[in-house]
């Protein structure tokens, strides 16, 4: 559930990220990390990987790390974000983690890292720093702190629905024996030289890989076929016609792994996925992430369908 609350915080630059999220839970530890890789996804979005230093007797085994290594291992839950403290800036930036906890674990990776997707936003000081030329920032060290309560799996505390009782999950994103529907709404970016359109849509190649691997049966090959339910991805491109790209062309690039729509997500789409069966609704949870108007609208619609305690979201406005 790494599709972010917002790729950056540029819509609220007048209020520092830490002030806007002051009521949210945070870990107590700041971790030093090093910017190790930058990938240009399209003209406005960068993926940045930050290497997590390994430990030797509680110290970094990498000589270019100047900050002490915290005694506690770096951990997070899908959906959480980072306070990113850049030495030259007064206020921390806030960015959602777009990699998985597995990739940050030294037990599962020789080079543990965390990843952020950052949009070019000159009015956001932290985003602007992370969009400086690679030669100026690659290898730089920043400090990060994990925060946020919008996570997967949802907490069963406070009367929430226990994970064992969930049978359908719906993720609505803008910007385990379980049927998962992902509705992803975005714009088709302008073309980039030597890169197909599919790869320019943030995280679409990763979603396609998940869909294709599940179709081949690898992730769940040991499970009974009757319990196998593949990921259902529906991509809503709000400017597809305006870009002069037809759906069939994009489907050809995507190898027919997903459904593509030339419009925005509607309340009818959500109602159709959830269905009218009352038992099904009781076992459904919905996660909403996107721009303010979209989030406000869909949260209200979904609460009316499945109930307040089964709709999870973040709002920063």
With CA atoms as reference, report the closest residue to 139 among 32, 40, 41.
32
Beta bridge partners of 174: 185
Same fold, 10-147 and 157-313: no
Residues, the chain, total? Answer: 317
CATH class of domain segment(s) 157-313? alpha beta
Cβ–Cβ < 8 Å for 198, 205: yes
Q: Which pTM was predicted?
A: 0.76
**What is the predicted pLDDT for the residue at 214?**
60
Please state the φ and ψ torsions of residue 232, each to the nearest 5 degrees.
Answer: -105, 110
Q: What CATH number does domain 10-147 carry, 2.40.30.10, 3.40.50.2300, 2.60.120.280, 3.30.590.10?
A: 2.40.30.10
Q: How far apart are CA 261 and CA 248, in angstroms?
A: 11
Residue-wise pLDDT tens for the chain (317 aa)?
A: 333 344 444 444 578 899 888 889 999 999 999 999 999 988 889 999 999 987 543 444 444 556 777 768 899 999 999 999 999 999 999 999 999 999 999 888 889 999 999 999 998 999 999 999 999 999 999 999 999 988 888 776 555 677 788 888 888 887 634 577 888 998 888 877 777 777 788 888 888 887 777 655 544 444 444 343 567 888 898 887 777 766 666 665 555 568 888 889 999 999 998 988 888 888 899 999 888 898 999 999 999 999 998 999 888 66
Domain ranges of the chain: 10-147, 157-313
**Which pLDDT score, from 0 to 100, does residue 176 have?**
38
In the chain, the N- to C-terminal Cα span, in Å, equals: 21
Of 188, 172, 181, the C-alpha closest to 263 is 188
């Amino acid at each position: 559930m790494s599709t972010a609350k917002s790729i950056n915080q540029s819509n609220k630059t007048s209020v520092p990220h830490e002030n806007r999220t002051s009521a949210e839970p945070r870990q107590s530890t700041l971790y030093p990390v090093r910017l190790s890789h930058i990938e240009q996804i399209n003209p406005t979005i960068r993926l940045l990987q930050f290497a997590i230093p390994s430990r030797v007797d509680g110290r970094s085994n990498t000589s270019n790390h100047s900050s002490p290594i915290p005694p506690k291992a770096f951990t997070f839950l899908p959906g959480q974000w980072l306070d990113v403290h850049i030495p030259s800036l007064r206020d921390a930036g806030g960015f959602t983690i777009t990699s998985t906890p597995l990739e940050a674990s030294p037990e599962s990776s020789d080079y543990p890292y965390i990843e952020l997707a950052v949009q070019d936003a000159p009015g956001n000081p932290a985003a602007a720093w992370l969009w400086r030329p690679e030669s100026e920032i690659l290898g730089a060290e920043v400090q990060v702190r994990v925060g946020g309560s919008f996570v997967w799996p949802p907490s069963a505390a406070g009367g929430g629905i226990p994970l064992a009782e969930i049978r359908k999950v719906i993720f609505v994103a803008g910007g385990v024996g379980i049927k998962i529907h992902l509705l992803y709404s975005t714009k088709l970016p302008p073309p980039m030289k030597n890169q197909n359109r599919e790869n320019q849509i943030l995280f679409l190649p990763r979603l396609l890989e998940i869909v294709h691997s599940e179709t081949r049966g690898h992730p769940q090959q040991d499970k009974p076929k009757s319990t196998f339910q593949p990921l259902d991805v529906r991509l809503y491109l709000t400017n597809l016609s305006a870009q002069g790209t037809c759906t069939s062309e994009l489907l050809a690039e995507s190898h027919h792994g997903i459904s593509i729509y030339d419009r925005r997500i509607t309340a009818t789409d959500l109602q159709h996925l959830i269905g009218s069966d009352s038992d099904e609704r009781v076992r459904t949870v919905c996660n909403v992430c996107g721009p303010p108007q979209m989030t406000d609208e869909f949260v209200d619609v979904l609460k009316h369908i499945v109930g307040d305690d089964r709709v999870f979201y973040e709002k920063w406005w």
